[in-house]
Every structure is written in structure tokens, then in C-alpha cells.
Amino acid sequence: MNPKKRVIELTKSHNPNPASNRPPVALSALLAQTARVEARELEPLARVFDDDATRAVKIAAVSRLADTLPLVALAASDAPAYLRKDALLRLDELLDGKPLSRVDLERLVPCLRDKDLIAYAVVLMDIADFDWCARCDSGTVDALCLALHECQGLHETVLLEDTFAHLMHARPDLGRSLRACSPGELHLKAMYMPVVANNVVYIDLTREDNVA
């Protein structure tokens, strides 16, 4: 079926039941839950569905989406991780500090069990004061540990370490598992720890014979 026609068919039906702690379901099934998708969103969504489209084309298509409904559906789906991550980032960009609805946040709960998504899902949940810690389990700990060990970007590392600290405080029942997977000294501590100079040599720059 033509990708654009497929999107149109999927957006005709509506299922109001949000996803909660269930694993990600098929992208097509989640898109079918959206009550409406504006006409301008159909072409980018068609690109996401197009099996022949390149990764770059699909990423560009996600960046063109301007409605939270398809973005939430994409982030909560079984689409490739890079598309789900881009959907979360695009949501944060679109909302610009405004909170997502509780229904939408419930649909994003499965992102807490994915090492590539947990940091960005928590950002959206924190903005809305959503109690994401209560939704966490051993799967979340596993995802967080993998993310902390594999992450190379400074920004994402800071987000992950903040998530780690928050979860340690809010969920003492998961503390043992979290401590077992801790990658060592946190970057935040290393970055902001004050530097104490033990051996200091002062040079008098006013002296004429100073050649420093």
C-alpha cells in the first residue's frame, strides 16, 4: 500500500485507552489511536512509513512534524530507536517547557526501559511533574545502567546521571541494583568539584628582572 494512503487509513479509527506499563506496540497500532492528524502531517508520516526511504529522509520527516499526537505515537512505538529518540527531542522542542498531558505521558512509560530513550523521556516527564519513578522496575534499572556505561555525549550523560540520582532517592527498593551498576564517579561530581591548589608559586610580575 502507498505509504501516504496507509497513514490516512490508520488515522481514521480511535482507541482512547493509553499505553501504561506495556511494552512498545506496533507503530501502526499506535497511530491508529490518534483521533486526528492534520493534513500537513500526512506527508512526513508517510515518509516515516516508507520502507524505501533512507534514514536521513526519515529523520528529516520527524523534524517536520508539528503535532504532538503523531510524535507521541512514534516515540511509544516499536519503530527504530533513532526515530523514537528524535520524536522525543522534537516533542521537547515543540512544547518549549509546557507539559504533555498525563495520557500522553502514560504512553511514553515504555521509553523508561530503553537505554536510548530513558534520558529524553524523563525530561518530558519531569516538566509535567509526572511520577515516573513509580513506574520504574528492574527493566528501567537495566536500561539506565546500559545507558550510563555506553553514553559518550556530555549532555545525555548529565541527564542520565540526574535520572540515576533521582531514582536512587525516590526508589530505595531499587538502590541495591542501581549501586551495583554504577559506572563509578559521576561526571557531575568530577565537573563541579572545587579545585584546591596545594602547591602554589607566586611570581612578582612587577620586578624588572622577572623573565617569566
Query: For residue 167, is pLDDT > 70?
Result: yes
Q: What is the model's pTM? A: 0.70
Helix ranges (H only) for the chain are 3-10, 27-31, 39-49, 55-64, 68-75, 81-95, 102-107, 118-127, 138-150, 154-170, 175-181, 187-192
3-state secondary structure of 61: helix
Confidence of residue 190 (pLDDT cuts 50, 70, 90): very low
Whether 115 and 99 have beta carbons less than 8 Å apart is answered as no
3-state secondary structure of 15: coil
d(CA 191, CA 112): 26
What's at 105, amino acid-wise?
A: L
**What's the whole-number mean pLDDT along residues 18-37?**
52
Given the C-alpha cell 538502590, which residue does it identify? 175
Residue 46 pLDDT grade (very low, low, confident, very high; cuts 50, 70, 90): confident
Task: Tell me: pLDDT of 97 over 80.
Answer: yes
Go through 11-42 and write b for each residue having 16 or more CB atoms within 10 A of its CB, e for each that does not: beeeeeebbeeeebbebeebbbbbeebeeebb
User: What three-state secondary structure class fits 77?
Assistant: strand
Q: How much is the pLDDT for 125?
A: 97
Q: Answer yes or no: are the C-beta atoms of 90 and 116 closer than 8 Å.
A: no
Q: What single DSSP character describes residue 78?
A: S
| 22 in Cβ contact with 46 (< 8 Å) | no
CA distance 157 to 155: 5
pLDDT at 22: 54
pLDDT in tens, 61-85: 899 888 898 899 899 988 899 999 9
Q: Which of 9-18, 175-184, 185-194 has the lowest mean pLDDT?
A: 9-18
pLDDT tens digits, 134-151: 999 999 999 999 999 998
Closest CA to 181 of 122, 152, 140, 153: 140
Percent of the chain with pLDDT over 90: 49
Distance CA 71, CA 90 (A): 8
Average pLDDT, integer, range 100-109: 95
